[in-house]
């Protein structure tokens, strides 16, 4: 069987043993991938992610899925728009984001997510503010790293990445599990 799916990254706000995390990620894939595009973006969770109170809310962008898992204290449509905010922010930070950005800069994606959602709670929904925070961090990066950039190397690195090998039907899912209100499962 062809490897169809790959996780870009996931982030758990609820402490779960490693094996369970992997299981959850697999189940989520399974649930999300088999859904058509023209049906609703909410999925009621199976027993693994915590039963009736938990929902998977996902959005599909080209080959990427952004999935949030939330409990009933979040508004479904609200989260759907939060994903939109997150993706738009990614777009702004990476200037026209594509999945390669997300693959090769997964640490950065984490930092951006940390500005949107902190400890499982929505921290900031204002895109400009998030971008400003990220840029402040980037400035810091610049000042520390110096400007001895070697773009030639970067170009060759990108060239080496056999682009046609990423065909459309490879679903590089982007899993981003967020489970707030955790204490009861610890």
Partner 1 sequence: MSDMVERTLTALPGLFLQNQLGGPAASRAPFFSRLGGLIRGVTALSSKHEEEKLIQQELSSLKATVSAPTTTLKMMKECMVRLIYCEMLGYDASFGYIHAIKLAQQGNLLEKRVGYLAVSLFLHESHELLLLLVNTVVKDLQSTNLVEVCMALTVVSQIFPREMIPAVLPLIEDKLQHSKEIIRRKAVLALYKFYLIAPNQVQHIHTKFRKALCDRDAGVMAASLHIYLRMIKENPSGYKDLTESFVTILKQVVGGKLPVEFSYHSVPAPWLQIQLLRILGLLGKDDQRTSELMYDVLDESLRRAELNHNVTYAILFECVHTIYSIYPKSELLEKAVKCIGKFVLSPKINLKYLGLKALTYVIQQDPSLALQHQITIIECLDHPDPIIKRETLELLYRITNAQNVIVIVQKMLDYLHQSKEEYIIINLVGKIAELAEKYAPDNVWFIQTMNAVFSVGGDVMHPDILSNFLRLLAEGFDDETEDQQLRVYAVQSYLTLLDMENTFYPQRFLQVMSWVLGEYSYLLDKESPEEVIARLYKLLKSDSISSETKAWLIAAVTKLTPQAHSSHVVEKLIQEFTVSLNTCLRQHAFELKHLHENVELSKSLLQGAQNCEDIVVDASLSFLDGFVAEGLSQGAAPYKPHHQRQEEQLSQGKVLNFEPYGLSFSSSGFTGRQSPAGISLGSDISGNSAETGLKETSSLKLEGVKKLWGKEGYLPKKESGADDKTEMPHVPAEGATMENADHATTRKDQAQGLTQSTEEKEKQLLASSLFVGLEPENTINLLGKADVVSHKFRRKSKFKVAQSDKTPSVHNPASSALDSDVARGDDGCLSTLETRDSELSSESLAELPSVEKLSGVSSPAPSLFADNNMEVFHPPSSSAPSTAASLLEEDPECGHSCAMEVCSNDSVSVSSYKIWKDDCLLMIWSVTSKTGSELTDAKLEIFPVENLKVIEQPGCLLPGMETESSKSFQYGVQMESPSVEGTLSGFVNYQMVKLEFSMNLSLLDFIRPLKISTEDFGKLWLSFANDVKQTIKMSEPRVALTSVLTELQQKLRLHVVDVVGNEGLLACKLLPSTPCVLHCRVHADEVALWFRSSCSVLSDCLSCHCQKVMETS
Is residue 121 near partner 1 by the rule CB under 8 A?
yes
Helix ranges restricted to H, the chain: 18-33, 76-94, 99-104, 106-116, 127-145, 151-160
Is residue 5 near partner 1 by the rule CB under 8 A?
no
Is residue 4 near partner 1 by the rule CB under 8 A?
no
Q: Which member of 32, 39, 112, 177 binds partner 1 (CB under 8 A)?
A: 39
CA distance 186 to 50: 12
Contacts to partner 1 from residues 45-74, by CB under 8 A: 45-47, 51-52, 62-63, 73
Q: Which member of 5, 53, 137, 171 binds partner 1 (CB under 8 A)?
A: 137
Contacts to partner 1 from residues 73-102, by CB under 8 A: 73, 75-78, 80-82, 85, 94-101
What CA dihedral angle connects 16, 20, 24 and 30, to 10 degrees? 180
Contact 106, 8 (CB under 8 A): yes
């Amino acid at each position: 069987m062809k490897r169809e799916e790959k996780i870009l990254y996931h982030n758990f706000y609820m402490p779960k043993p490693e094996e369970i995390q992997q299981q959850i990620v697999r189940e989520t894939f399974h649930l999300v991938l088999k859904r058509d595009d023209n049906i609703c973006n909410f999925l009621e969770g199976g027993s693994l992610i915590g039963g009736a109170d938990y929902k998977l809310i996902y959005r599909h962008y080209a080959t990427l899925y952004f999935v949030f898992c939330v409990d009933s204290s979040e508004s479904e449509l609200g989260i759907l728009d939060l994903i939109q905010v997150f993706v738009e922010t990614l777009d702004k930070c990476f200037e026209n984001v594509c999945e390669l950005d997300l693959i090769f800069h997964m640490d950065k994606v984490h930092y951006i997510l940390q500005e949107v959602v902190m400890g499982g709670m929505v921290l900031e929904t204002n895109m400009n503010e998030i971008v400003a925070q990220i840029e402040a961090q980037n400035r810091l990066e610049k000042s520390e790293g110096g400007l001895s950039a070697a773009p030639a190397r970067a170009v060759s690195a990108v060239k080496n990445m056999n682009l046609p090998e990423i065909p459309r039907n490879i679903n590089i899912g982007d899993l981003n599990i967020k489970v707030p209100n955790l204490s009861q499962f610890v």
